[in-house]
Chains A and B, each alone.
Chain A
Amino acid sequence: MSLDFKPGAFNDFFREETFRGDFTYRNSPHNIRRFPFPFDRDDYMYAVNMEPHVPGRIGSVFEKTFDVDEHYVAEMIDRAKVLADDPLRCQSLPHMTLAGWDLLELIMESKARDYPEWFSLEKNGNRWRWINRPLGIDHSFTFLDEATLPYGPMEYITRQTQGDFTLQDEREGTLWMDAGIATSQADWSVDFDIGMSWHEWHAPVPLAHEMGIFDRALKFLLKLQHGAPVRRFNWTMTVNPLLDTAPETYPKWGPTKTSLTQENLGQKQHLRVELQTLYRLPRSNAIAFDIRCYLASFDELMTVPKWARRLHRVVRDIHPDLATYKGFIRNQPAMVEWLSKYDDGKPTSPGWWPEEA
Chain B
Amino acid sequence: MTLTPVEPTIKSRPVYAPLEPRPGHLHLIIADGEGADAVTDMLAKTSDAGQLLASAHLMYCPGPNGTDLTERLRALGALQFFRAPTIPALLPRLKRVLVDAHMGSQFYLAGTEGLCGQAETAIMQTGFPASAIQKEHRGSTVRRVQCVHCKGITENVATDPFQCSHCGLSLFVRDHYSRRLAAFQGVNIDAEDPGDVPPSVVRFK
Contact = CB atoms under 8 A, between A and B. Distances in A.
Contact of B11 (A191, A209, A249, A254): A209
A204 B10 contact: yes
Contact of A196 (B13, B129, B178): B178
B178 A254 contact: no
A250 B187 contact: yes
A192 B148 contact: yes
Contacts of B73: none
Contacts of A249: 149
A193 B178 contact: yes
B76 interface: no
A200 B193 CA distance: 30
Interface string B141-168: 0000010110100000000000000000
Nearest to B124: A195
Contact of A250 (B10, B13, B188): B188
Given A196-B179, A196-B180, A204-B176, A251 B169 contact: yes
Contacts of B13: 203
Q: Is the interface of B mostly helix, strand, loop or mixed?
A: loop
A202 B13 CA distance: 12
A249 B187 CA distance: 10
Interface in B86-139: 129-130
A202 to B, nearest CB: 7
A203 B191 contact: no
B130 A192 contact: no
Interface in A291-343: 330
A130 interface: no
Nearest to A191: B151
B189 to A, nearest CB: 10
A172 interface: yes
B12 interface: yes
Nearest to B175: A203
Contacts of A251: 149, 169, 188, 191, 194
Contacts of B129: 172
B162 to A, nearest CB: 16
B181 interface: yes
A201 B129 CA distance: 19
B48 interface: no
B11 A255 contact: no
Given A192-B185, A193-B178, A200-B179, A258 B12 contact: no
Contacts of A248: 148-149
A250 B180 contact: no
A249 to B, nearest CB: 8
A194 interface: yes
Contacts of A172: 129-130
Contacts of A250: 148-149, 187-188, 191
Interface in A253-274: 254-255, 257-258
Interface string B21-53: 000000000000000000000000000000000
B7 interface: no
B178 A202 contact: no
A196 B12 contact: yes
A172 B133 CA distance: 15
A257 B192 CA distance: 7
Interface string A14-58: 000000000000000000000000000000000000000000000
Nearest to B150: A248
Contacts of B187: 247, 250
Contacts of B148: 189, 191-192, 247-248, 250
Interface of A: 88, 172, 189, 191-196, 199-204, 209, 247-251, 254-255, 257-258, 330
26 contacts: A172-B130, A189-B148, A189-B185, A191-B151, A192-B146, A192-B176, A192-B181, A194-B180, A195-B178, A196-B178, A199-B11, A201-B12, A202-B11, A203-B13, A203-B175, A204-B174, A209-B11, A248-B148, A250-B149, A250-B188, A250-B191, A254-B191, A255-B191, A255-B192, A258-B193, A330-B192
Given A189-B148, A195-B178, A249-B149, 19 more contacts: A172-B130, A189-B185, A191-B151, A192-B148, A195-B180, A196-B180, A199-B12, A200-B11, A202-B11, A203-B11, A209-B11, A250-B148, A250-B149, A250-B188, A254-B188, A254-B191, A257-B192, A258-B192, A330-B192
| Closest CB pairs A-B (n = 9) | A254-B191, A195-B180, A203-B12, A203-B10, A200-B12, A203-B11, A254-B192, A199-B11, A247-B148
